[in-house]
Amino acid sequence: MSVTAPQGFEAAGVSAGLKSTGKPDVAVIVNRGPRDTAAAVFTSNRAQANPIMWSKQAISDGSARAIVLNSGGANCFTGSFGFQTTHQTAERAAELLGIGAIDVLVCSTGLIGTGDETFRTRVLDGTERAIAALAADGGERAAAAIMTTDTVPKTAVRARDGWTIGGIAKGAGMLAPGLATMLVVLTTDADLTPEAADAQLRAATRTTFDRLDSDGAMSTNDQVTLLASGASGIVPEPDAFGEELQALCLDLAAQLMRDAEGASHDIRIEVVGAASEDDAVVVGRSVARNNLFKTAIFGNDPNWGRVLAAIGTTDAEFDPYDVDVTINGVRVCTQGGPDRPRDEVDLAPRDTHVLIDLRVGPDAATIMTNDLTHAYVHENSAYSS
């Protein structure tokens, strides 16, 4: 049931005609309380969609009762008309739910730079019909309604000590971090203060969604939202809640990676022996964003030279001639030179593990990415057609 697994939540997903396929494209998730705690992290892209601008204002007090999401249009670079559309969406939802517009968050995803009266009418109509269809088992329909080029919905649930966390996510391309990645809604019936929710969300996204780097392209619409109803009546032990939230976010991030546009390999780039965690992240991300490395993996070529070339572009602390590289359990490079023969590496499986040992310190980090395929190029060459 994903976002409706925790007590106190209802959700729905309907088709409003935003997609030519007729598939669901508007979702509404409502927190019935008693708490209305909310926290969110947003894209750090300076180019931000109208829903991001609205939601930043709406959540500034640490509370929200509902979130409206649409696929089939990003409502970005649509001027004052677009912001009015977002505002009217929140107002329409608020009127129907008997709450204030400032208690409604809005998210959109789809093609940038398009939006007209038809788009607005369909979003408002979809919001009305989704609210009329709200149900305690509507989480799966909401997950389907936020999909764009996704091939499957992404959902997850965790439960512990009498409280539950649920989540849905969308994203298949334009997956690069900036505090958040893609559209994600997390719900919990744990009793959290706004300060606790914000701290827990930021800690979880930092090591999960923020470590997912599919194609180096940061969206204008990225938002991860946590809503807490408090309906369980339980104030969770912070470490326990943080552990479960991190696990749930990691689960969703892995689902996003597996469904990346056209990908044939899911790649975990694990960097160890770093002087700092930041260094490990920088090194891992340099490999994740290197097209030569990504095409090599697509071609089942364990070309470790491309790994060293990529990490050599960073300012992280290490000696390029004292680095080990292991691919799928075979150490192909040691101390900056050849080790085991490349033909010992089996890259046929979809899951691919690259281990980089910088040999200078105690810190580590893992970046999740995928290969660069013909299918990815084809998908994005015709995205707006």
Asked whether the beta carbons of 183 and 107 are under 8 A apart, the reply is: yes
Please tell me whether residue 91 adopts helix, strand or coil conformation: helix
Contacts of 270 by beta carbon, 8 Å cutoff, 6+ apart? 284, 353, 354, 355, 356, 364, 365, 366
Q: Is 181 a catalytic residue?
A: yes
Catalytic-labelled residue, pool 109, 127, 155, 181? 181
Closest CA to 55 of 46, 67, 70, 37: 67
Both tokens assigned to 260: 């990346």
Cα(94)–Cα(66) distance, integer angstroms: 8
Cα(175)–Cα(229) distance, integer angstroms: 29
- Per residue in 196-233, is it b (16+ CB within 10 Å) or e — as a string? bbbebbbebbbbbbbbbbbbbebbbbbbbbbbbbbbbe
Cis peptide before 34 (omega within 30 of 0): yes
Asked whether the beta carbons of 369 and 285 are under 8 A apart, the reply is: no
Hunting for tokens 């829903």 — which residue is that?
Answer: 51
DSSP-derived secondary structure for 158-182: EEETTEEEEEEEE-SSS---SS--S
How many degrees, rounded to 5, is the angle at CA 362 between CA 356 and CA 368? 40
Residues taking part in catalysis: 181
